[in-house]
Amino acid sequence: MKLNLPNFRNINFYVMFLADMLIFTLALLTAYLFRFDFAIPSQYIVQFKGMLKYVLLFKAVLFVLFGQYRGMWRYTSLDDYWKLLQVTAVQSLILISFVVFRFTFTGVPRSIFVIDWMLTLVLCSGLRISIRAFFTKSEPVVPSAERKNILIIGAGSSAEKISRELTGNPAQYQLVGFIDDDRGKKGRTIHGKPVLGNINSMDDVVEKLSVDEIFIAVSQASGEQMRTIADACKSTGAPYKILPAMTEIMDGKVDIKALRDVNYLDLLGRSPVSLDTERIKGYLTGQTVLVTGCGGSIGSELCRQIARFKPRHIVLVDSGEYNLYEIQMELHYTLGFTEYTTVLGSIADRELMRKTFKDHAPSVVFHAAAYKHVPMLERNPWQAVRNNIVGSRTIMEAAVEAGVERFVVVSTDKAVRPTNVMGASKRVTELLMQSLQGKGTRFMAVRFGNVVGSSGSVIPLFRRQIEAGGPVTVTHPDVTRYFMSIAEASQLILQAGSMGETGTGGEIFVLDMGVPVKIADMARDLIRLSGKEPDVDVEIAFTGLREGEKLYEELITQGEGIVRTEHEKILVLGSDDLATAEDLEGELSSLFTASENHDGDTIRTVLMRLVPEYVPADN
């Protein structure tokens, strides 16, 4: 327990202190009364008087030292009760030890100490709860007409926390009850408010109780369940908000201010990420970490997450001036992290990268810099070679030369049986990573699908099209993709980075992306979330697959050995047959020459030799 002295200038301290001294006296006296059936022998009255001065001294000192007079008792909580339990237990043990040392328990009834401890705990906690109850009842009464009637969907831990927040805001809200599909909860209450029924009965509940707003507090739900909840809320006509997933509330705070409108990420039904923070701290805390592509969607989120683990320094590398400035300002002024260095330049600049590694000596590198737009790179394949392959090779070799301990490559599901230059270039990056394993730096790659809200993501485009009245353009009725949030992907990248220490190196970790989503279904969900009806208010138009695109994405190639790791959302591919530098050197030389000559046909030909599973799409 931490010493937490009170404010001795506050008169409330002295009032509470005297009240506790009275309780201590009463508790000890009552303990003797209980022990002797309310007829204390004269010799024990003398013993009581002699014992009282020690009891008052020990209890008063401990209550002061351990912060029992720092709190505002009108806000007494369960946490305060546990602290009180700890303090009273400690003071009882000290008192017993003193009596054993001073009197060896001769003539002292042992039951006195147990009864005294129980009465002290009950009376002290009762006093504090009574103060809270008094102030709660004395809050000004607000007419019901001026308060919003709130219905909460869910009757679990998140709903309980929100209900407590609502109770603490009586001037604004009036909780009428809960909705939950668990039949065992119907009719039961949380803080005095009943579980009124399930989702199917929500229309009747909203109408009968004049509900003004609905709060969704469901901690875990599948995408289909969340769609059902959203549709049910919409059918009532009442506005509704949702409590964000815990990936968005990293400190675990759950309150009314966190509620927001339902968005598409909620409909994906991604469950919260459970992180082994101790392992992540083990390789990030107190270390110098370098992040390439730090201004991009994944790179910037990696920087935010890394800053949580208190590294000694972060080296921010990006070729985009504005993106680099944005993440610098966010780290400095929003997150309060000032131990960083910005490096503006291309990862393909060999001398700049060597100088950067020499000057800062990072022990961990997250390589998120890459061109990722599939149709753009189909039209400009030499840029995929220069940035994704030449740039990756340059920074990997600089890392080996500088003695970096751990190097994590951010890869993509498009590297699996690629049909486009972008995917093939990322697969070559994986091969390069494996070819450098064993030279002092532990390399690993993390492969995953699309992230919602990333730069180039389809969702911002759909939203703009919906705002313009449509049509929403989808390439093909059957095209499907894997999706996860930026925060979830970044957290799992950090977790996978901690796992490389247990393997042989050169591993390719694969994030569990769940169930693939049809892009056409995504478009319809977004239209509904905008309060419109698909194919009625907003048309969906199919435009045909773009250059290099395929209908379905994959996370592993047939024949790749894949096993689960200790983390439920991370898998690892076998790395028995690693590529070597000698295997790649000749083809890479031809590839680099073709890119210098802007020769797209030759680039594709060489990529097919480097990546035999690469088959360029006809579209």
Domains for the chain: give ranges and CATH numbers.
11-137 (no CATH), 144-268 (3.40.50.720), 277-451+482-513+554-610 (3.40.50.720)
CA 245 from centroid of its chain's CA atoms: 8
Distance CA 511, CA 499 (A): 13
Give the 3-state secondary structure percentages of the chain, helix then strand then coil, rounded to 5: 50, 15, 35
Q: pTM of the prediction? A: 0.63
Give residue-wise pLDDT tens across range 151-181: 888 888 778 877 877 766 666 778 888 888 8
Average pLDDT, the chain: 81
What stretch of H or E contains 509?
Answer: strand 507-511
Q: What is the torsion angle, in degrees rounded to the nearest 10, for the CA atoms of residue 332, residue 336, residue 339 and residue 342?
A: -20
Is residue 257 exposed (0-12), middle (13-18) or buried (19+ Cβ within 10 Å)? exposed
Provide the token pair at 328: 């610098």
- Percent of the chain exceeding pLDDT 70 equals 79
Q: How confident is the model at residue 187 (pLDDT cuts 50, 70, 90)?
A: confident
What is the pLDDT averaged over residues 547-567?
60
Residue 300: pLDDT band (50, 70, 90) is: very high
Question: Mean of the pLDDT values across residues 125-149?
Answer: 69
Query: How many angstroms separate the CA atoms of 459 and 455, rounded?
Result: 10
Beta-carbon contacts of 514 under 8 Å, excluding residues fewer than 6 positions away, are 268, 269, 270, 482, 484
8-state DSSP, 318: E
Instruction: Name, of 229-233, 374-378, 482-486, 557-561, the range with top average pLDDT.
Output: 374-378
DSSP 419-438: SSHHHHHHHHHHHHHHHTTT
Looking at the predicted structure, is the pLDDT value of residue 247 above 50? Answer: no
Tokens of 370: 């890459």
pLDDT score recorded for residue 497: 83
Q: Which residues are catalytic?
A: 414
Quote the pLDDT of residue 367.
96
| Contact (Cβ atoms closer than 8 angstroms) between residue 115 and residue 143 | no
Report pLDDT for 575: 54
Is the pLDDT assigned to residue 261 strictly greater than 60?
A: no
As given in the structure block, the two tokens for residue 554 are: 């994959």
Average pLDDT over residues 366-376: 90
pLDDT higher than threshold 70 for residue 596? yes
User: Is the confidence at residue 602, as pLDDT, over 50?
Assistant: yes
Q: Quick one: pLDDT at residue 1?
A: 44
Q: Is 453 helix (H, G, I), strand (E, B) or coil?
A: coil
Is the distance from CB of 569 to CB of 273 less than 8 angstroms? Answer: yes
| pLDDT (mean) for 330-347 | 94
314 burial class (0-12, 13-18, 19+ CB within 10 angstroms)?
buried
Whether a cis peptide bond, with omega within 30° of 0, leads into 362 is no
pLDDT band at 84 (very low <50, low <70, confident <90, very high): confident
* Cα–Cα distance measured from residue 285 to residue 407, given in angstroms and rounded to the nearest whole number: 16
Which of 151-165, 487-501, 573-587 is predicted least confidently? 573-587
Please tell me which of 235-239, 246-250, 304-308 the model is most confident about, judged by mean pLDDT.
304-308
- The reported pLDDT for the residue numbered 248 is 46
Most confident of 2-6, 116-120, 349-353, 573-577: 349-353
pLDDT of residue 253: 44
Detail the DSSP E strand segments found in 217-359. 240-242, 288-292, 313-318, 340-344
Looking at residue 250, its pLDDT comes to 41
**What's residue 360's pLDDT?**
96
pLDDT band at 246 (very low <50, low <70, confident <90, very high): very low
pLDDT of residue 158: 76
